[in-house]
Chains A and B, each alone.
Chain A
Amino acid sequence: MTSAIYLLSYAALPLFGMLLAAHRVTGIDSRAARIGFAFLAGALLLTIEATIFSIAGIRWNVIGLSLPLVAASLTVLLWPRIPSSPPQLAGRRTLVATHVANAIVLISVLHFALSIITTQSVSPDYVLFWGVKAVRFAAAAALDPGFLLSRFPPPHVDYPPLVPVVQAWGLLFSRRMPWITAAGMSTVWLVAPIPFIRWSLERAFGRDFAAAVSAFWAAAMAASFAYSGCGGNADATLVAYISVAGVAIIAERYDPRSRWIAAAAFAGAALTKAEALAFIGAMLFGIAVRDLLRRDASVVRRVALLTLSTAASISIWFGYQYRFGLPVGYHRFTNFQGLLLRNLPVILTEAPKGLSAGCWGMSWLIPAAVLICVAVRSPRRLIDALPLLISLPLLFAFFAFLYLQYTSGLAMQMSWTLPRVSQPLLSLLILGTAFASGPLQENTGRGEPRPGTVGAGSLSPPPA
């Protein structure tokens, strides 16, 4: 019963997130994509609200946290709605391919969910601090500064609060922590971005291609999450936000409103894990490079909006730290004392193991091979995907820079961190490659291209 109540509590999050997902400013006209994005937005809004409540000394309860968010969402939902796109008639081949893709998504989601429920893929960090914080925050009905500042605090008191807040939200309903079920809810973070990714790709390339890429993304990420033990921690959450942001950044070329989706996703990522800032920084650099290559004059405005949304959300967490006398910011995780070149052979030996992602590295190799083909045949097609693809060399170089500083235990550190820290990059590789390799023709497999979209890979400017 406790598990069922906990599970049902997550149904409130999409309702909270409708404030952004159903708003005209984001313009999501697919019901499934709207619900998926609403879950991510709802978790973000709940976290912001719960943190502000804690700063203001207001204790959490279900009604107090729900009312403002539901009221705000209702104002959007009761407004003239964005019409959902009508279902498309599909040919026999389309149907078979779509059904196969759907089956792959379902199997992948079940793989991750069952891996957690059978406790194969639950993160040790979940019982050491993620879940611990959730239990203590729910018991205190606040982001409990007394616990974080106590003589015996949990590890990583500086980590941002989104995952513990969402886990604690369920506890406000269930009272007792259903530890396995709560870890199992990590599956929702795998599921939520899929309809949004699919919808974004569908607008650019048509239904068949979108379904196939979404299936690949789901299979790759599920295999990686299960293999790396991501149940109950923040890794799947970070991947969800970074992936949605990445897709929205590229989709902005087809629909300028996507920039607001990317801004919200960056805000969510920044409140999920400290390392999100590295991924966001790399993607912003990629946007700048792409826009300069395209001679797009709106580069400053675009980068400024995304930087502001990230800074605004992280400021709420830092504001909480400041309010209660916690050290503001993140702890440094290395003290630079030079690079140890003797680490290089260890890095080169351990990296392939760390990037195996539960499928012998196939999830990296397949999109990498496609990307090489695109780069050889039509390198200009890579320009649009640069914000995603440029993150890979930048962040792998950054990881190597960090690993080169370890004085001992590097192999063990890499085996623990690399499979997880590389997951957002795997996602960006798949999505960036998909956008660079999508079919160029105007006939996208679902009839005429939708008004307001342009053929993929076309470097013509977006419609006004």
Chain B
Amino acid sequence: MTPVPNPTFEWMNQSRQWGVRVKPGKKGLTLGSLNVGIYGEIPTEWHDQTRNPRGAIARKGMPPVGYAIREKAAIWADCAADLYEEAIQRRWAPATDVPWDTIEPLPDDVERAVCQVCTELSQYANVDIETISSWQHQMAYGYHEVKQFLATATFDAGRHYEVFRKRALYNGGGLGLESPGEVNRMILESRGGWTEAVTYLFLLRGSYAMTILRYLERFAHNDAERFIYGHVIQDRARHMAYALDHLKYSIAHVDAQSTVLATLLFIGDRLFARELRDPVMREALAIIFGGGVEGARTHGMATWEAMMREFMARYEGACEWLRVPRAPDRIPEEMRRFLPEAA
């Protein structure tokens, strides 16, 4: 075996743009700051099927890896690079950052409700993980900022899966009943494209989950729960920011995309409404908001209804911002009754 062949140095002096010197700014040397010169040219379509880094010279003749998502409009969001850096700066560890010792025993009905909600939220995180990770490897390298941001999103979701499980198993309870799964399946089956997955995973389910978490934070029983809900909100807010930015970009660049999204939501709302008929999550939340089963029957359920009104305002507000046409009379009754104008 020849240890190292005689050098040819043929690889030298082969760069599309030399002399680049990006300096760290006040947030350090960020991913977005690297987008200078040709390195910041983000093409509308990315034809390269290898892992050629954007801006490097491609090696000709290499077999394709096989990326399905190669159009900017199918993936892009301008904020992805900044969200990536923010996610890294705001990292946290459930094992050591949550003040677990602030958790005290709760009344049995309340503990059961908390454990049920944690079971459901853990399952939401599972859907986040399975949905995003099933798309990641299909995304072309030319849009690496999005791939990298989504790596933080699945990392966040893994942490959410873990932290809700830990809470359920910490205070004398256990895991509750699994989810009905209809909305989970809908999200996972959004195979038409990444944009469609984003619509269901973030715009619909994400808006709902964020609203639940905000209410849970208000009704937290101790600092540990307050920390958990607050930090999951912070993580999910980044996911939502990417989603809305991407959907806006997609609508602006893909013909009739807003009507496609309207159709998706028309279908998605029906499945979502069917799942709302299931009492488990509603009652568990009402017990938490009402301080127990008795309180759930009155002000707990009233608070749940207020939460649903806030959810619908958030959800419809996002649709309006995106200019996705929505006809109130086509929204299922289970959701329509919480629209602001229905109050």
A complexed with B: no
Binding site for A on B (CB under 8 A): none
Binding site for B on A (CB under 8 A): none
